[in-house]
Amino acid sequence: MSKKAKIGITCIILLAIIPVYFFFFQTEKEENESIRKNVKVVQKTTKTASTDIEAEKTETASADQDNKSTVNNEESVKVEISKEDPKRVNPQVDDEKENVQSDFLVVIDPGHQQRANLEQEPVGPGAAVTKIKVTGGTSGVATGKPEYKLTLEASLILGELLEKRGVKVIYTRTTHDVNMSNKERAEIANQNQADLFVRIHADGSTNRNVNGLSILTPSEDDKFTKAIFQDSLQASQLILNETQKNSAVKVNGISYRGDLSGFNWSQVPSTLIEMGFMSNPTEDKNLSDTGYLTNLLTNIAEGITLYSSSKQ
């Protein structure tokens, strides 16, 4: 090869390398730029954490998302966050955070109790008509499990799922050995000014073939439930929509009820979830399967979270 040709080839190689080098240099610079921005977002966020928690959640989330594309610097950004974590610096900030996050309160009522109370109570405020205080509930044809056990199991899982989503939860009961009428359960929701009263139940039928989840919601026409009809229905509908996304669950729909003491005494939006039929052997077994139950309750928690977002 002639000397001229060698020089020519060298020039061509150099010309090819320069733009490639320039391209990589620029990309790296852009990446660093974007990381600096992310760190700024995080720092700004931690400064305002005590006053604006919602903003913090959104901003931190978006910063986290951006960081996924800049893997190399993820570690240093995380260090920034933990250094300025207001929880570690000042425990009082944490208390304020609790209050802000706990804005939305759900009272969960695990249906029934160990022993039924067959005494009567008025079906609504000032009503002459009375009803049994609290019935025994149904029981599983395959599992033999009483409804009051299943409803508490489910309620505790639901409560945990809601708390993870920043919702504050109060239970009407956390043990089986209580004596609490449906009226008294509604009054717990009223006294705590719950944003939503969620009643957890399971169905029973003499026909073993009947199955599926249904949601009971306060009726529009009944004088006791008129005031809470609209918001209750919105919550019931959002929960129903979410459960319909679960292919393992048969969803029957919404039933409007003006005859339930637990709704009639409630002054706050209320919904009752009949998770499935314990008189259907397959559904009974499913409801005692932790995976099935947790998936179903996750749908319910999602529906409740959507309702809470619509109210804030």
Binding interface with Zn ion (CB under 5 A): 111, 137, 201
Minimum CB distance to Zn ion, residue 307 (Å): 22
Closer by beta carbon to Zn ion, 86 or else 218: 218
d(CA 159, CA 153): 10
Considering the complex, state which of residue 46 and residue 182 has its C-beta at the smaller distance from Zn ion. Answer: 182
Taking the CA atoms of residue 302, residue 303, residue 309 and residue 312 in that order, the dihedral angle to the nearest 10 degrees is -130
The partner residues of 139 in beta bridges, in order of sequence, read 146
Decide: residue 19, CB within 10 A, 0-12 exposed, 13-18 middle, 19+ buried.
Answer: exposed
Q: How far apart are CA 11 and CA 8, in angstroms?
A: 5
Q: What's the closest the beta carbon of residue 199 comes to Zn ion, in angstroms? A: 8
Q: How far is the CB of 162 from Zn ion (least distance, A)?
A: 21
Which residue number, 111 or 218, has a Cβ lying nearer to Zn ion? 111
CB of 154 to Zn ion, least distance (A): 12
Which residues neighbour 52 within 8 Å (Cβ) at sequence distance 6 or greater? none
Quote the tokens at residue 55. Answer: 């903003």
| Closer residue to Zn ion in complex, CB, 136/166 | 136
Using CB atoms, what's the residue nearest to Zn ion?
A: 201
> Shortest approach of Zn ion to residue 113 CB, angstroms?
11
Q: How far is the CB of 142 from Zn ion (least distance, A)?
A: 18
Cβ density class 225-235: b for 16+ within 10 Å, e for less: beebbebbbbb
74 backbone dihedrals φ, ψ, rounded to 5°: -55, -45
Pairing state between β 251-257 and 213-218:
parallel
Nearer to Zn ion, 196 or 275 (CB): 275
Residue (258 or 276) nearer to Zn ion, CB: 276
Mutual angle of helices 53-67 and 91-101, in 10-degree steps: 100
Minimum distance from CB of 111 to Zn ion (Å)? Answer: 4
Closest distance of CB 204 from Zn ion, Å: 8
Pair of tokens at residue 51? 């006053």
Q: Which residue's CB is nearer to Zn ion, number 137 or number 140? A: 137
168 vs 201 by CB, closer to Zn ion? 201
Task: Check if the beta carbon of residue 300 is closer than 8 Å to that of residue 235.
Answer: no
Scan for tokens 């249906």, then name that residue.
111
Tokens of 229: 């009809």
- Altogether, the residues listed in the chain come to a count of 312
Count the neighbouring beta carbons within 10 Å of the beta carbon of residue 310: 11
SS3 61: helix
